[in-house]
Amino acid sequence: MHNVRQASERVAKQKRGIGFYSYNQIKNTRPVGRIGAMLVGGIYLLVGIYIIMRFVDVRKAEAHIWGSAESHTLGFIFGVCLICIGAFVAHVGVIYYSRKLWYSASKFRNRAN
């Protein structure tokens, strides 16, 4: 029982990371790296959404002209993969800056009271 308590106290004292990234990795990343990751991830996300929208339009046109449409399965899979990659790349910067904004807003609110 005593060992479990010591282990839980050690875990509680460790600084939290974000997802797969440890606290030291987040601490040593420069703001340019975080913003760049958010931009690249956002671009991947938007391209994935565009590809899916484009294939939906192509399917509608095929159905209108020929009465039936091809499935375009690989295109949809590719679009979903781009969306997932974009979300994965951008999530660390988004979480980091949302935490930073939340902490600064809560400090400002506590100072005002």
Among 11-15, 85-89, 103-107, the range with the most confident prediction by mean pLDDT is 85-89
Q: What is the mean pLDDT of the chain?
A: 84
What's the confidence (pLDDT) of residue 55?
A: 94
Residue 46: partners with Cβ closer than 8 Å, 6 or more residues away: 86
Q: Give pLDDT tens digits for 35-52.
A: 999 999 999 999 999 999
Residue 48, classed as helix, strand or coil, is helix
Q: How far apart are CA 75 and CA 84, in angstroms?
A: 14
